[in-house]
C-alpha cells in the first residue's frame, strides 16, 4: 500500500510538473531595424504578449549589422531569431540562400489592401510570399518651405536642372542649397539612384546580364550629383534632416521615416522637357520569418497582426508609414501626417533596385567611386569606368 502511495505521489508530482512546463510562456525573438522602423513594430509587443501568453525579446540593429546578423544566424540549425526585418533589396540573396520561411506554405496570403507596388520585393521566383511590406519607404524630395518661398516664389523644382540652378543661387547667398548623405555604400548609392534613373540610366540592364554604370547618361547623372554637392554640403542623415527643417539648408534626397517636415515626390526628369522616369526608388522595409525559426506558428501570428490594417493604422501616430492604401489615404492618417499622400503618389512612380543576390556587394563597390567623384579625387569618367570594370566581376 505504501509502495502504491509513493507511486501515486510521484505520478502526481510529474503531472504537476508537466502542467507547469506546459504553461511556460513561449518566447518569440525579433530582429529589428533600429529607428522608427523598429519602434512601430515594438508598439505591438505588450498587446501581443497578453493575447498569446508569450514573451517577446528583441534586438535593434543598423542597416549593415542587421544584414550581417540575419546572414550569420541562418547557418544554425535552430535560429536565434524568429521574426526578422528585411530590406527589399536583400530578397534575392536571402531566398537563394534559404534564409526566409515560405509564408505561402505556412498559410499566409496577401490581401488586396496592400499597395501592389510594394509587393515584388516580398515575392519569390515561385510566386510565393516570403516577406510582408510594413513600412512604405520610398525616396522623396525634402525641402525647407521658407527657403523655397524666399528663393523660388514657393515653387518646389520638379527636375534636377532646376534643382541645381536654385541650389547654386542659394549657395552664392551663403545657404547650403542641396545636401548629400555621407557614407560610401548603401547610403550614397541609394540616394544617387533617383538622379541616375531620372537621366534615363540604370545600374544594370533589364535581364541583369550587364553592368551599365558607365554609360553617357550615367556619367551625366553623376556630374549632376557632383555639382549638387558643390552647391551645398555632405552630412549624415540626422544632420541633413535637422539642417533642412531648421532652414540652414534647403533641399535633399530623403526617406519618409527620417522626420522631415516637408517633402514631395522626387524629380522624375533630368531637365525640363526630358522624358519622365520612374525615379522614386523603393526602399520598403519588410518583415518575415527566419526559415530556422523554432516558433513558426507563433511567428506567423505576429506577422499577421503587425501587418494588419488595424495595427498599421495605429502606427501613424508614432511615425509609421503603412503599406496599405486604406491607411495611407485615411482621413485621420492625413490629419496626423499629410505627407502620407506624397508617399502613396511616390510609390506609383517607383523603381526597385535589382533583385540580384550580389546587390550588397554591388553598392559596396560602387559607393566609394561615387564618393571619389563627389570629393574630386577622380573625374566622373575615371570613377564610373573603374566602377564598371570592377562591378563586371560580379557577373
Instruction: For 25-39, write each residue's pLDDT tens digit.
Output: 899 999 999 999 999
Question: What does the pLDDT read at residue 23?
Answer: 62
Q: Is residue 277 located within the same domain as residue 289?
A: no
Does 259 lie in the same domain as 294? Answer: no
Q: In the predicted model, what is the mean pLDDT of residues 104-109?
A: 98
Cβ neighbour number for residue 203 with a 10 Å cutoff:
23
% of the chain surpassing 70 pLDDT:
94
Of the candidates 286, 292, 264, the residue with the CA atom closest to the CA atom of residue 349 = 264
Q: Is residue 53 part of a domain?
A: yes
Instruction: Give domain status of residue 10, yes or no.
Output: no
- The domain total for the chain is 2
With beta carbons less than 8 A apart as the criterion, state whether 263 and 141 touch: yes
Strand 26-33 relative to strand 54-61, pairing: parallel
Query: Please, are residues 131 and 307 in contact by the beta-carbon 8 Å criterion?
Result: no
Q: Say whether pLDDT at 4 is over 50.
A: no
Looking at the fold, whether 179 and 246 belong to one and the same domain comes out as: yes
Q: Does 6 fall in a domain? A: no
CA gap 27, 356 in Å, rounded: 34
pLDDT tens for each residue of 26-81: 999 999 999 999 999 999 999 999 999 999 999 999 999 999 999 999 999 999 99
As a whole number, mean pLDDT of residues 176-189 equals 97
* Sheet containing strand 285-289, strands side by side: 54-61, 26-33, 83-87, 285-289, 131-135
- At 221 the pLDDT is 98
Average pLDDT in the chain: 94
Whether 173 and 229 map to the same domain: the answer is yes
**Would residue 324 count as lying in a domain?**
yes
Kindly state whether residue 19 falls inside one of the protein's structural domains: no
CATH number at residue 388: 3.40.190.10
Domain match, 272 and 288 both? no
Residue 181 counted as domain residue: yes
111 in a structural domain: yes
Domain membership flag for residue 351: no
What residues make up the domain containing 306?
26-136+283-346
Whole-number pLDDT of residue 248: 97
pLDDT (average), residues 359-367: 97
Pairing of strands 131-135, 249-254: unpaired
| Predicted model pTM | 0.88
Amino acid at each position: 500500500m505504501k509502495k502504491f502511495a509513493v507511486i501515486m505521489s510521484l505520478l502526481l508530482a510529474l503531472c504537476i510538473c508537466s502542467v507547469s512546463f506546459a504553461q511556460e510562456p513561449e518566447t518569440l525573438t525579433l530582429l529589428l531595424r533600429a529607428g522608427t522602423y523598429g519602434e512601430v513594430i515594438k508598439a505591438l509587443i505588450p498587446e501581443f504578449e497578453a493575447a498569446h501568453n508569450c514573451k517577446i525579446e528583441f534586438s535593434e540593429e543598423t542597416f549593415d549589422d542587421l544584414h550581417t546578423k540575419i546572414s550569420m544566424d541562418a547557418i544554425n540549425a535552430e535560429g536565434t531569431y524568429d521574426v526578422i526585418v528585411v530590406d527589399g533589396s536583400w530578397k534575392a540573396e536571402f531566398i537563394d540562400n534559404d534564409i526566409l520561411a515560405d509564408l505561402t506554405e505556412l498559410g499566409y496570403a496577401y490581401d488586396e489592401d496592400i499597395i501592389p507596388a510594394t509587393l515584388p520585393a516580398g515575392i519569390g521566383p515561385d510566386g510565393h510570399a516570403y516577406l510582408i511590406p510594413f513600412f512604405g519607404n520610398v525616396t522623396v524630395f525634402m525641402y525647407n518651405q521658407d527657403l523655397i518661398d524666399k528663393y523660388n516664389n514657393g515653387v518646389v523644382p520638379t527636375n534636377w536642372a532646376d534643382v541645381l540652378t536654385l541650389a547654386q543661387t542659394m549657395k552664392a547667398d551663403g545657404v547650403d542649397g542641396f545636401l548629400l548623405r555621407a557614407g560610401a555604400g548603401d547610403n550614397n548609392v541609394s540616394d544617387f539612384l533617383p538622379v541616375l534613373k531620372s537621366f534615363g540610366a540604370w545600374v544594370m540592364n533589364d535581364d541583369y546580364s550587364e553592368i551599365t554604370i558607365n554609360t553617357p547618361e550615367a556619367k551625366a547623372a553623376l556630374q549632376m550629383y557632383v555639382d549638387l554637392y558643390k552647391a551645398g554640403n555632405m552630412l549624415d542623415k540626422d544632420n541633413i534632416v535637422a539642417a533642412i527643417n531648421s532652414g540652414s539648408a534647403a533641399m535633399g534626397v530623403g526617406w519618409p521615416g527620417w522626420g522631415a517636415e516637408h517633402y514631395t515626390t522626387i524629380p522624375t526628369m533630368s531637365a525640363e522637357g526630358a522624358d519622365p522616369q520612374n525615379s522614386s526608388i523603393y526602399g520598403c522595409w519588410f518583415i518575415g520569418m527566419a526559415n530556422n525559426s523554432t516558433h513558426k506558428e507563433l511567428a506567423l501570428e505576429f506577422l499577421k497582426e503587425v501587418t494588419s490594417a488595424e495595427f498599421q493604422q495605429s502606427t501613424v501616430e508614432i511615425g509609421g508609414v503603412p503599406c496599405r492604401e486604406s491607411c495611407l489615404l485615411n482621413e485621420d492618417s492625413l490629419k496626423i501626417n499629410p505627407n502620407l499622400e506624397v508617399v502613396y503618389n511616390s510609390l506609383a512612380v517607383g523603381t526597385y533596385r535589382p533583385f540580384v543576390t550580389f546587390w550588397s556587394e554591388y553598392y559596396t563597390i560602387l559607393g566609394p567611386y561615387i564618393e571619389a567623384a563627389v570629393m574630386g579625387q577622380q573625374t566622373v569618367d575615371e570613377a564610373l569606368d573603374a566602377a564598371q570594370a570592377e562591378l563586371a566581376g560580379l557577373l
